[in-house]
């Protein structure tokens, strides 16, 4: 299954606003559930998929079917991902992540669902975070199911591929670096230390389903929330859009902060078309919530 690159509105798209009042009001009442996407992490140096200059304009992420079917595809993935991890693993939370963590500390949130795999919400201090698409911090064996830290595999790959220092054209939001087939030709892929099985990052690839129990946990969070606040997601794919639809059907207000129109705008009471970091910091100031520097 190829990734969804875009969506076409079926009707008039509601315009964005610069008024953060509705977002401030919703948070002041507490019980708000955050749904975050790649746009929240762009200020940390991680590009998004579909925004202006998004990576999908030049890069198609690995699919689960390609990864499991082809040793050559796995070599290409792990070589590119190993190089990308050096940059991706060093990313730090930005003011948007820190503002969400501050809202959480002050008891204003019902939790966080993130479509991101970068772990930056937790690094900023958020605690009740559901990683909808998994995390690049972990590696899973497709044979025995053993979970291991990504940093452990990174050290093993460094040792097995001494001198692997290609220059990447770009780093993508899934931690993948743009390299040519020639650059990855001699990269050595490693297997599970427990059973010698195939290793895969513990993330949901395109063409792979989010585990049902994880989806149900998110649905339960939506049911219990007073409102849904979407941050930096185009909502192009159903994995996030379904929760927006659920909230709207249950008469939970949906508020979106995203500079560009989203597939969920028709369900939202407002879309704030402003940069995320500055906007969330301004909302925190209005609420008297201190955001860590």
Active site (annotated) includes residue 97: no
> Is 60 annotated to bind ligand?
no
Characterize 184-214 residue by residue with b for buried, 16 or more Cβ atoms within 10 angstroms of its Cβ, and e for exposed.
beebebeebeeeebbbbbbbbbbbbebeeeb
55 is in an annotated binding site: yes
Q: Rg for the chain (alpha carbons), in Å?
A: 19
State yes or no: 54 annotated in a binding site: yes
Q: Cα(176)–Cα(172) distance, rounded to whole angstroms?
A: 5
Ligand-binding site membership of 232 (annotated): yes
Burial class (CB in 10 A: 0-12, 13-18, 19+), 92: exposed
CA distance 7 to 120: 27
6 is in an annotated binding site: no
Among the listed residues 59, 82, 121, 133, the single catalytic one is 133
Residue 171 has phi, psi (to 5 degrees) of: -110, 140
Is 45 a known ligand-binding residue?
A: yes
240 is in an annotated binding site: no
- Binding site annotation covers 218? no
207 annotated as a binding-site residue = no
Q: Any known ligand binding at 258? A: no
Residue where the block lists tokens 């929330």: 225
126 is in an annotated binding site: no
Task: Write phi, then psi, for 69 (nearest 5 degrees).
Answer: -90, -20
116 annotated as belonging to a binding site for a ligand: yes
Q: Is 118 annotated as a binding residue?
A: yes
Say if residue 42 carries a ligand binding annotation: yes
Q: Is 241 annotated as a binding residue?
A: no
173: closest CA among 48, 273, 11, 29? 48
Going by C-alpha positions, the residue among 192, 197, 247 that lies closest to residue 219 is 247
Q: Is 38 annotated as a binding residue?
A: yes
Annotated catalytic sites, by residue? 133
Residue stretches of the annotated binding site: 37-57, 115-118, 141, 144, 192, 195, 232-234, 276
Residue stretches of the annotated binding site for NAD(+): 37-57, 115-118, 232-234, 276
Residue stretches of the annotated binding site for Zn(2+): 141, 144, 192, 195
């Amino acid at each position: 299954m190829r990734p969804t690159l875009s969506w076409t509105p079926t009707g008039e798209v509601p315009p964005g606003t610069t008024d953060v009042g509705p977002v401030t009001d919703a948070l002041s009442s507490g019980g708000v559930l955050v749904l975050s996407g790649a746009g929240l992490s762009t200020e940390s140096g991680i590009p998004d998929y579909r925004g202006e200059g998004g990576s999908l304009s030049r890069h198609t992420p690995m699919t689960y079917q390609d990864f499991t079917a082809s040793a050559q595809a796995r070599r290409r993935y792990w070589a590119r991902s190993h190089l990308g991890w050096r940059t991706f693993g060093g990313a730090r939370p930005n003011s948007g992540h820190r503002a969400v963590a501050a809202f959480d500390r002050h008891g204003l949130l019902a939790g966080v669902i993130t479509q991101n795999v970068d772990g930056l919400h937790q690094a900023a201090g958020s605690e009740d975070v559901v990683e909808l698409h998994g995390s690049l911090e972990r590696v899973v064996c497709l044979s025995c199911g053993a979970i291991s830290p990504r940093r452990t595999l990174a050290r093993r790959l460094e040792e097995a591929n001494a001198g692997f220092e290609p220059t990447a054209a770009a780093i993508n939001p899934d931690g993948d670096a743009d390299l040519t087939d020639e650059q990855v030709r001699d990269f050595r892929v490693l297997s599970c230390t427990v059973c010698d099985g195939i290793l895969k990052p513990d993330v949901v690839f395109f063409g792979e389903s989010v585990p049902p129990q994880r989806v149900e946990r998110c649905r339960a969070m939506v049911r219990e929330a007073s409102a849904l606040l979407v941050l930096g997601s185009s909502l192009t794919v159903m994995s996030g859009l379904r929760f927006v639809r659920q909230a709207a059907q249950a008469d939970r207000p949906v508020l979106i902060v995203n500079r560009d129109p989203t597939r969920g705008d028709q369900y939202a009471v407002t879309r704030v078309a402003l940069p995320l970091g500055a906007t969330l910091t301004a909302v925190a100031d209005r609420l008297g919530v201190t955001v860590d520097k």
